[in-house]
Amino acid sequence: MNTFAGGSIESVLVEKRVFPPPVEFAKSARISSMEEYRTLWNRAKDDPQGFWNDMASHLVWRKPWDKVMEWTEPHVKWYVGGQLNASENCVDRHCVGPRRNKAALIWEGEPGDRRVLRYQDLKREVGRFANVLKAQGVTKGDVVAIYMPMVPELVIAMLACARIGAPHTVVFGGFSGEALAGRIQDCSAKVLVTADGGFRRGNIIHLKEQVDEALAHCPTIRNVVVLKRTGHQIHMEPGRDHWWHEMASIASADCPPEPLDSEHPLFILYTSGSTGTPKGILHTTGGYLVGTTLTASWVFDLKEEDTYFCTADCGWITGHSYLVYGPLSNGATVVMYEGAPDYPDKDRFWQIVQDYGVTIFYTAPTAIRAFMKWGEQYARKHDLSSLRLLGTVGEPINPEAWVWYREVIGGGRCPVVDTWWQTETGAIMIAPLPGATPTKPGTATLPLPGVVPEVVTKSGEPVEPNQGGYLVIKQPWPSMMRTIHGDDERYRRQYWSEIPGVYFTGDGARRDHDGNFWIMGRVDDVLNVAGHRLSTMEIESALVHHKAVAEAAVVGKPDELRGQAITAFVTLKSGYQPSEDLRQQLRQHVAHEIGALARPDDLRFTDALPKTRSGKIMRRLLRDVAAGVESTGDTSTLEDFSVLARLRHEEE
């Protein structure tokens, strides 16, 4: 069951508290009143071409565009004929004038090691690594896979790819070798950038072992560049594997950024959909960078003196858009941390906030719920008075967590921006502007200028205020995905055919009388476990790959901390008997096929799965079974459950 985390739907329905922007904050904010917001929004709606034409001036272009936008549903091109380079915009343009000695990246490793890269340093390192990639045979258009811990070299590798026009595909370090192989195969990556390992909760994550396993099935990979991070013993395949430091020591730091077509692919990022195989979401250069640059500046109100800490991993879209491209394009100082929030103790983030004087902090609701559970004493141990703005992303935030975040972390003075968006949208779509929008705990509030969302029925009719429906976007926007790599038909089908004429988000939502959007969760078979997107089908297909399994059905179960937990129902082939040992084997099998994040929390053996006449598994029923005997005394809770259930029913 996709619900608000922590069974807090009832509190969302009665949530009436409104927090206007603090007067002091609004005074100096980039957008500082609702009038200003409305003027911008209306202009963007009425004259999208003119609006986006002007907004693109926030970037450095090598060649101006001939046409702002070309739209042949479902395909869009932005800034047609224009040329630019994303790494030039994120790095080089800040190396002239006073920003050249400003910290671009402040990094802290889990063991406590630290590094600061000023914009000039970043430019040198990006240039150097771009030359390393060239030396490995990478040319414009070749895909480079990146599978690394959260170290500065990960950002350097992404920007180096952008510099030479090689689309990157970053694979989250928590994914298994199998999952890595699947992604590499899908996009035919030529070179892989990785590390011996990374640190997590004091342990070494053995990345290179996963790589060696993956590459047995990846003939397109010619060379592997390996960063020495942990220094533990690893296998280096002669002729294929090269040490980062050895390659970098002989490479020049000078690599001029390649002028690229606005629609040149910047990256492919895999995300889970409602079928078994992950989708390679393709983003291109110009529109994506306009979108992320602008939204980072609007929503985070980025100022020259800010120190901005985003806790997301670069393996997810939040790391791409709001750790790398958006903030760096704005010339911000970004804090990056390698490890776990509770290592060596549960105050690690707050120690980082205090040590670097972080002013803007961006994290996920699941993390906030964990902080809440650990207790406020961890935050109280540190001086958090430098903070001036807090953000959340990844899943609906329950009002309790929102208010706790505002009070305990933000000291009651920092606006909280709940930002709704997706891998597919590239940039934030619905979020408060911290100097303008009155916030309410639990809603991402209003669409940003240039974003025209609506809540509709299955046939595309707008619903009444406060009625649940499907969240769609009615006008194309610059940072939207261009297609699914290698499967344009799936792109068309999944996003543009479900509801006629509009982009379908896969989320259920309702809009209140003030126009605020309340996101209710996915209406498809996508799970959101601790802010990570997972597909039920992907986990099911991993399970049926096991020799003992006949059939499997996976559903989400409400989980107080992580939003959803994974429950799997499994039928066995004849000759196999349910046992605790087999249960553990199957859970481990999923972790091996996808990654530990997909390991079912609960795995139940059953003789048969409930099916419809047409043979479809009745997930709704299983979701109820997984949720157990939930207290359904509260009718408002029931109401919300039934809206989602109905929406899903229409799909079945």
Which residues form the interface with ligand 6R9 (CB under 6 A)? 271, 316-318, 393-396, 418-423, 444, 505-507, 519, 521-522, 528, 533
581 is in an annotated binding site: no
CB nearer to ligand 6R9: pick between 143 and 417: 417
375 is in an annotated binding site: no
Amino acid at 432: P
Min CB(55)–ligand 6R9 separation in Å: 21
Find the residue with minimal CB distance to ligand 6R9: 423
CA 406-423-306 angle, to 5 degrees, is: 45
CB distance 374 to 341 below 8 Å: no
CB nearer to ligand 6R9: pick between 85 and 419: 419
Amino acid at 288: Y
HSE at residue 111, side-chain half, CA atoms within 13 A, is 8
Min CB(648)–ligand 6R9 separation in Å: 14
CB nearer to ligand 6R9: pick between 126 and 555: 555
418 is in an annotated binding site: yes
Min CB(5)–ligand 6R9 separation in Å: 10
Here the tokens at position 413 are 């003075």
- The DSSP bridge pattern shows strands 453-456 and 469-473 to be antiparallel
CB nearer to ligand 6R9: pick between 286 and 394: 394
CB nearer to ligand 6R9: pick between 21 and 396: 396
Amino acid at 514: D
41 is in an annotated binding site: no
* 532 three-class SS: strand
Count of CB atoms within 10 A of residue 454's CB?
Answer: 20
Q: DSSP assignment, residue 386?
A: T
Min CB(134)–ligand 6R9 separation in Å: 32
Min CB(584)–ligand 6R9 separation in Å: 29
CB environment 277-299: b (16+ within 10 A), e (fewer)? bbbbbbbbbbbbbbbbbbbbbbb
Cα distances (angstroms) measured from residue 26 to each of 19, 108, 127, 254, 439: 13, 32, 39, 42, 13
275 is in an annotated binding site: no
- The DSSP bridge pattern shows strands 563-572 and 602-605 to be parallel
CB distance 300 to 389 below 8 Å: yes
318 is in an annotated binding site: yes
Q: Among candidates 101, 88, 105, 97, which has minimal Cα distance to 151?
A: 105
291 is in an annotated binding site: no
* 401 three-class SS: helix
398 is in an annotated binding site: no
Min CB(142)–ligand 6R9 separation in Å: 25
514 is in an annotated binding site: no
CB distance 568 to 543 below 8 Å: yes
Min CB(395)–ligand 6R9 separation in Å: 5
CB distance 279 to 273 below 8 Å: yes
Min CB(365)–ligand 6R9 separation in Å: 8
CB nearer to ligand 6R9: pick between 11 and 351: 11
Q: Among candidates 569, 573, 559, 574, which has minimal Cα distance to 617?
A: 569
549 is in an annotated binding site: yes
Here the tokens at position 38 are 């409305």
Q: Phi and psi (nearest 5°) for 599?
A: -65, 125
311 is in an annotated binding site: no
CB nearer to ligand 6R9: pick between 210 and 443: 443
544 is in an annotated binding site: yes
202 is in an annotated binding site: yes
Min CB(444)–ligand 6R9 separation in Å: 5
CB nearer to ligand 6R9: pick between 210 and 392: 392
Min CB(420)–ligand 6R9 separation in Å: 4
> E strands along 139-293, which residues?
144-147, 168-170, 191-195, 198-200, 203-205, 223-227, 241-243, 260-261, 265-271, 279-284
CB nearer to ligand 6R9: pick between 449 and 508: 508
Look at the block and give the residue holding tokens 């959340």. 392
Here the tokens at position 18 are 């409104």
Here the tokens at position 573 are 């082939």
CB nearer to ligand 6R9: pick between 156 and 530: 530
Known binding residues for ATP: 394-396, 418-423, 507, 522, 533
Known binding residues for Mg(2+): 544, 546, 549
Known binding residues for CoA: 200-203, 318
Known binding residues: 200-203, 318, 394-396, 418-423, 507, 522, 533, 544, 546, 549
